[in-house]
Structure 1
Amino acid sequence: MDIQHGSGGTYRTLVDESPLSGLQWAVFVLCFLIMFLDGLDTVLIGFLAPYIGAEWKLAKGALTPVFTAGVVGLMIAGCMAGILADRVGRRPLLLAAVAVFGVANLATAYCASLEALVVLRFVTGLGLGAAMPCAVTLVSEYAPARRRAFVITSMYCGYTLGGAAVGWLTPIVAQQHGWRAMFVVGAVLPLALLPWLFWRLPESIGFLAERRRDRGAVAALLSRIVGRQVELPALPEQQKVEGNPLAIILSPAFRMRTGLLWLANGAGLLMTFTLINWLPSFLTFKHVPAQTASLSGASLQAGGAIGALLIGWLMDRFGSRKVVVGTYLGAAVASLLWIAVLDRSSAALLLMGFVAGVLVMGGQTGFQVLATSVYPVAARATGLSWMQSVGRLGGILGIQLAGMGIASDVDPISLLQALAIPALVAAVAAAFLHVTPRHVPGNAAVLKGG
């Protein structure tokens, strides 16, 4: 059996046609836990901002550099980690990333100044930014094609559930033990997971096969997936993967698709980072009780988890492009409705946060699925991480604009309604994905039917 990429009889065929094995479930669960911790530690600062601002007596908008530093760290790490993961493997980068954000959170618990907090959130962002693309790529390479969208979006639920957990825990832990205790939680959990990852998390079978690394390991992994011994013949020399991964995703065959993914994902992340960093503060500024504001943020994250599952299921059945376009059109409409619920009950605010999570954060998972299917294994981690990293420029822009608006006394509800604009940009960019080249083998299937 040949393990080359592209044609029938490949390692990919075995993975696609075999039932899910214990090995694959182990990869999915471990990466789900990584994503849970990634989500928890990414949104932690947004939920704790009102507590930090009150303790340090900060002016409105003073924490904008802290939010921005974290996203800059995410962006830089994403660019570097993708290229490294396509060179040295997904597993070592994941282990290092989890260690970095765990240690950085522990240091943040002892932070005594705004300047130190900026630096530590940047370092935390480096770890978080490296973890996500490696985890998504690893899962995509162990998931069968028939269930890939649902598996990836299910794993992405870990991210949103981690964020929701912060919203549920913050009113309890931060009010009773102070905001620093939440950073201790954000440190202990990833550091406790590290030994398990080291023991149980395998390297990507796709990476090992494409890079011609340790044929015995490839055979052993395939044998565990299919439940029988697998023999690997010599690989054709001409099938070796060559070329810089970044050059591949920017080549004429992928350039248009890459640009559209970057634009759509950037618009989506502008919405996502604005909401996860500013929503509790926005509502607090509108005199919503702190507990209700925090629970609204938790509802946002919970909606993201449900949305990810729903959207993954829909994408496997109706095509990724149609589902993503429809989701962001819905997000545009939902953004305009914040004013309708502000003066109503707390339940209405929680419901609105949930709906926003389903459409905005759930919709974001669609781009992860598209990116894993657009690029070949040799450039997959790079393509995914660069899409996320460049897209985070949109996240930085959203955080900055929101901070400037708050500092200028712009009504927070108007800022929430303005998110309809990037929602429309994301929908239009996703709608035009069908104009990208389809002749590259193995990369157009995800757009089928949509």
Structure 2
Amino acid sequence: MTAGDPRAAIDAAPMSRAQVAAVVITSALSALDGYDVLSVTFAAPAISRDWAVGKAMLGVVLSSGLVGMALGSLLLAPVADAIGRRRMVMLNLLLMMAGMLMSAFSRGVAELSAWRVVTGIGIGAMVPIITPLAVEFSNARWRTLSLAVMSIGYPIGGTVGGFVAAGLLHLFDWPAVFLFGAALALILLGAVTLWLPEPLAFLMERRDDRTLARVNALLRRFALPPVEALPPPPTTPRAVPYREIFAAGQRGATLRITLVNLLFIMTVYYVLSWMPQMIADLGFSPSMATMVSALASFGGAIACITIGIVAPRTDLRAVVAMLMIGLGLATPAFGFTSASLPLLILTGLIAGAFLYGGITGLYALIVDTFEPRARATGVGFVMGIGRAAGALAPLASGALFGIGIDRGGVSAALGSMALLAGLIVALSARRSQPCRADA
């Protein structure tokens, strides 16, 4: 046995196979989130056709999952700080599996919307947990890349899932899209059970008579020597998590990152929710509309890799500001693009790159805003508020479409949210010290 801080040992040592596997699982969970969020948008053109649903009512279906995501982020994610990240991940997978399975058997808008809320609760509580998990399982050298690997799962889920959904829509009907998501959740539940341990940060924060044994078991799993004793716990009393993220020295940072995320997510969920339907409205088949949306996610996957490589060498706030402003400009550009498939693919790729690249950088800023002991609570709060506002984006845009505003006008209105978010981040970058993703 050795003496010292287990966290310092993990930070200094090379990444073990178990750590790599854990980070890969967080990426797979993020990919499932990406697929589950977009599944209803993939199926939307076929649902609209089969049920003769207008855009205003379709907006209700698209928003219902986002309402669930807000509830999950705000209400369930903080529970992970009490019962453990691993248990909460498993609970989220069960909710997502049940919601996707029952969505496939829905027979009307109200029923489908209700099950999308259930699915959204699981998704909403998942992302605030796996985002810090990717950081906590990594050593210091590869922390930024681990976060990028986790983040890239989301556009990969949208890309690969989109191609799969396009094939399913070509061969079967829209319920197959949801059944595929339920099967993926079941597979990942087994992977989490076998290969995702409880992270060190939670074990060190929730100490009891078995903590030393559990920490040493985790260290051995990571190919590190056990420790003789744990470092003393912090002398400051533990605050209630929500009270802690609004403490005097933290309140300003919490409110600022919450506002930025809220504005950016409004544009994000407008693009993600309506892109396939807008393409279908131009005369393309539901399968082709889903294919173009999947290619946009492919552009996002490339952007996530680029962010993971570039971010450690740059001012992260400046990069995030540039990506947000880029999405604010690319969104109306896509909206005004004519019914030309090559042009739609090109503008969709550009919008996807700015969208997913911005999310990746924004996740890093959000995680870095909070201390580890309240990280799930803080990240959950920020994302929950963002998703509550984001749920309004499909509803508001559906209403705007319903009163006759064309896709260019609606896209310009919703794209302005990302522009404003980028300007806020740019101004905060000028006033503060450079923020690096490995902070």
TM superposition score category, shorter chain reference: over 0.9
CA distance in 1, matches of 2:415, 2:431: 26
Does 2:246 match 1:245?
Answer: no
More displaced, 15-24 or 238-247? 238-247
2:216 paired residue number: 219
**How far 1:2 moved relative to its partner?**
10
What TM-score do the two structures reach when normalised by structure 1? 0.91
- Is 1:38–1:162's contact at 8 Å kept on the other side of the alignment? yes
- Is 1:161–1:302's contact at 8 Å kept on the other side of the alignment? yes
- Is 2:56–2:395's contact at 8 Å kept on the other side of the alignment? no
User: How big is each residue's C-alpha offset from its partner over 1:97-136, in whole Å with a ceiling of 9 and x where there is no partner?
Assistant: 0111112111111111211111100011111111111111
More displaced, 49-58 or 281-290? 281-290
CA distance in 1, matches of 2:64, 2:47: 16
User: How big is each residue's C-alpha offset from its partner over 1:393-423, in whole Å with a ceiling of 9 and x where there is no partner?
Assistant: 3311211221111111211122223333112
Aligned partner letter, 1:127: G
Does 2:160 match 1:161?
Answer: no
**How far 1:273 moved relative to its partner?**
0.8
After superposition, where does 1:254-333 map in structure 2 within 5 Å?
Answer: 254-333=250-329
More displaced, 106-115 or 234-243? 234-243
1:104 paired residue number: 99
CA distance in 1, matches of 2:126, 2:328: 30
What TM-score do the two structures reach when normalised by structure 2? 0.93
- Is 1:35–1:159's contact at 8 Å kept on the other side of the alignment? yes
User: How big is each residue's C-alpha offset from its partner over 1:330-388, in whole Å with a ceiling of 9 and x where there is no partner?
Assistant: 222323422564243x1221121111111012211112111222211110111111111
Which of 427, 430, 439 in structure 1 is aligned with 2:422?
Answer: 427
Distance 1:43 1:2, change over 3 A: farther
CA distance in 2, matches of 1:380, 1:237: 17
Does 2:191 match 1:196?
Answer: yes
Which of 313, 329, 352 in structure 2 is aligned with 1:357?
Answer: 352
- Is 1:71–1:125's contact at 8 Å kept on the other side of the alignment? yes
After superposition, where does 1:109-148 map in structure 2 within 5 Å?
Answer: 109-148=104-143
1:92 paired residue number: 87
Does 2:429 match 1:408?
Answer: no
CA distance in 1, matches of 2:118, 2:277: 24
CA distance in 1, matches of 2:389, 2:378: 17
Distance 1:232 1:271, change over 3 A: farther
CA distance in 2, matches of 1:409, 1:417: 15
CA distance in 1, matches of 2:75, 2:428: 26
SS of structure 1 residue aligned to 2:163: helix
User: How big is each residue's C-alpha offset from its partner over 1:41-91, in whole Å with a ceiling of 9 and x where there is no partner?
Assistant: 111001101101111112232122222211111001111222111111100
**How far 1:275 moved relative to its partner?**
1.0
CA RMSD across the alignment: 2.3
Aligned partner letter, 1:207: F
Aligned partner letter, 1:178: D
SS of structure 1 residue aligned to 2:249: coil
Distance 1:254 1:2, change over 3 A: farther
Aligned partner letter, 1:338: F
Distance 1:231 1:445, change over 3 A: farther
SS of structure 1 residue aligned to 2:141: helix
Distance 1:180 1:158, change over 3 A: same
CA distance in 1, matches of 2:323, 2:2: 40
Distance 1:326 1:237, change over 3 A: closer
Which of 358, 371, 376 in structure 2 is aligned with 1:381?
Answer: 376
1:6 paired residue number: none
Distance 1:448 1:223, change over 3 A: closer
Percent of aligned pairs sharing the same letter: 28
CA distance in 2, matches of 1:126, 1:140: 23
Task: Work out the number of aligned pairs and report it.
Answer: 437
1:15 paired residue number: 10
Unaligned runs of at least 5 residues, structure 1: 4-8, 439-443
After superposition, where does 1:392-403 map in structure 2 within 5 Å?
Answer: 392-403=387-398
Distance 1:347 1:199, change over 3 A: same
- Is 2:31–2:156's contact at 8 Å kept on the other side of the alignment? yes
SS of structure 2 residue aligned to 1:277: helix
Aligned partner letter, 1:204: P
CA distance in 2, matches of 1:355, 1:222: 43
Aligned partner letter, 2:165: T
SS of structure 2 residue aligned to 1:399: helix
CA distance in 2, matches of 1:181, 1:290: 14
